[in-house]
Amino acid sequence: MSAREWIGKDFYRELGVSSEASQDEIKKSYRKLARENHPDANPGNTEAETKFKSVSEAYGVLSDPAKRKEYDEARQLFGAGAGAGGFNFPGGGGSGTFDVNDLFGQGAAGNAGGFGGLGDILGGLFGRRGGAAGATTSTRAQRGADVETDVRIDFAEAVKGATLPLRLSSPATCKTCGGNGAKPGTSPRTCPVCQGSGLVSRSQGAFAFSEPCRECRGRGKIIDDPCPECHGEGISTQTRTLTVRVPAGVDDNQRIRLAGQGEPGRGGAAAGDLYVRVHVNPHKVFGRSGNDLTITVPVSFAELTLGATITVPTLEGRVSVKVPPATNNGRVLRVRGKGIAKRDGSTGDLLVTLQVAVPSKLDGSEKEALEAFAEASAKHDPRPEITEMLKER
């Protein structure tokens, strides 16, 4: 059976820091331990050599916020220290020689048995650089952040859909240098120390270690004349005008996602997404309940009592609505298919709420007629249940 590297995986313990340690603390601790255990300072001391290897490996993970996060998540899932039982990697041969590069490049393949989803997690953690050997600059790649912005549109625009120009000031690929960070007319040169990989390997006896290249700060490229606009970052604040298509039927407070329109990624990674939150101005007559359009229509007592046909506005025009005789105040009549059409093909209804309008003033003949009605209808008690209750007191 071939020997395997079984690695007790407490990177925090290796570096002698707590799991809450800041990046600065981690760096400080790593530097101290690396200096103390450096093979140059401890010739022939295998214990120091092993320790040096461990701290380099731990630092390789914990110094990268993305890797550290995945590592923390893996630890949480399997319990801190579960790693002592063995996260195993196939990288090491019987000689005990392994290269950190191999380790990170092969994680997913080596976790076949026994750990279920662990392979996936470590695949994410260590497989980051999977693919072409030497494509190491992508270790520094980081997806751009998502950005959210707001737009305000009118009710009718929300119902029918709209195309809006959107002005945005946000970090974007620097136009002056095209994102490479170098002053126009110059270009970044490949780091001569790491040959563009961003990592340097050091061999000590049977061991090979990788650490971020100091010359280029792990970027793989050196910029002699930084771009005056972005100071070499390749990203600057830009005002952009985007066209946003608001789909028909959008609701107040809904978000529209524009993939890839967020902050640009670093190191060639994908840009984040832009989320546009839509605020809809209320309409002076119409309201909305999901796909249904709502409207409150004042009606007279006579219309409710005798029945009537009333004309009601819709989004597009008008519609006749029949009020049956003896309709109560507040009743909601449904007009099918006159609501809000969504892009999925569904259309809501128009909901008409009838609300009795009491005349504020009556002229002589109106008053006379109403008094005659009151007299004639005195035999109908409008509130029999209340009358019944009152008799008992």
Q: List beta partners, residue 221.
A: 190
Q: Which of 230, 278, 321, 350 binds Zn ion (CB under 5 A)?
A: 230
Q: Which of 119/188 has CB closer to Zn ion?
A: 188
* Token pair 């995945």 in the structure block, residue: 70
Write down the least CB distance from residue 169 to Zn ion, Å.
Answer: 16
CB 58 within 8 A of CB 67: no
* Token pair 């136009």 in the structure block, residue: 175
Q: Which of 158, 172, 177, 323 binds Zn ion (CB under 5 A)?
A: 177
Per CB under 5 A, does 191 bind Zn ion? yes
Segment contacting Zn ion by CB under 5 A, of 39-47, 78-86, 188-196, 247-255? 188-196
Site string for Zn ion, 357-386 (x = CB under 5 A): ------------------------------
Q: Which of 7/230 has CB closer to Zn ion?
A: 230
Q: Which of 175/255 has CB closer to Zn ion?
A: 175
CB 194 within 8 A of CB 216: yes
DSSP state of 356: E
CB 10 within 8 A of CB 84: yes
Assigned token pair, 150: 């707001």
DSSP state of 18: -
Per CB under 5 A, does 296 bind Zn ion? no
Per CB under 5 A, does 227 bind Zn ion? yes
Write down the least CB distance from residue 236 to Zn ion, Å.
Answer: 6
Segment contacting Zn ion by CB under 5 A, of 70-78, 79-87, 103-111, 193-201? 193-201
Q: Which of 74, 147, 174, 276 binds Zn ion (CB under 5 A)?
A: 174
Per CB under 5 A, does 258 bind Zn ion? no
Q: List beta partners, residue 352.
A: 295, 333
Q: Which of 62, 122, 162, 213 binds Zn ion (CB under 5 A)?
A: 213
CB 60 within 8 A of CB 125: no
Q: Which of 25, 72, 99, 215 binds Zn ion (CB under 5 A)?
A: 215
* Token pair 């005008």 in the structure block, residue: 241
Q: Which of 210/327 has CB closer to Zn ion?
A: 210
CB neighbour class for 185 (10 Å; exposed up to 12, middle 13-18, buried from 19): exposed
Alpha helices (H) along the chain: 11-15, 23-37, 46-62, 65-78, 100-106, 118-126, 155-160, 301-306, 364-376, 384-391
State how far the alpha carbon of 165 is from the alpha carbons of 153, 156, 240, 246, 289, in Å.
12, 17, 10, 11, 28
Q: Which of 83/196 has CB closer to Zn ion?
A: 196
Q: Which of 193, 248, 256, 312 binds Zn ion (CB under 5 A)?
A: 193
Using alpha carbons only, what angle is made at residue 330 by residues 326 and 335, rounded to the nearest 5 degrees? 85
Per CB under 5 A, does 354 bind Zn ion? no
Per CB under 5 A, does 182 bind Zn ion? no
Write down the least CB distance from residue 241 to Zn ion, Å.
Answer: 20
State how far the alpha carbon of 292 is from the alpha carbons of 37, 64, 130, in Å.
72, 51, 51
Per CB under 5 A, does 99 bind Zn ion? no
Per CB under 5 A, does 172 bind Zn ion? no
CB neighbour class for 318 (10 Å; exposed up to 12, middle 13-18, buried from 19): exposed
Q: Which of 5/215 has CB closer to Zn ion?
A: 215
Q: Which of 300, 389, 327, 308 is nearest to 381 (CA)?
A: 389
Q: Which of 88/136 has CB closer to Zn ion?
A: 136
Write down the least CB distance from residue 178 to Zn ion, Å.
Answer: 8
Segment contacting Zn ion by CB under 5 A, of 136-144, 215-223, 318-326, 370-378? 215-223
Write down the least CB distance from residue 230 to Zn ion, Å.
Answer: 3
Segment contacting Zn ion by CB under 5 A, of 15-23, 171-179, 295-303, 378-386? 171-179
Alpha carbons 108 and 309: distance in angstroms, whole number: 72
Q: List interacting residues with Zn ion (CB under 5 A).
A: 174, 176-177, 191, 193-194, 213, 215-216, 227, 229-230
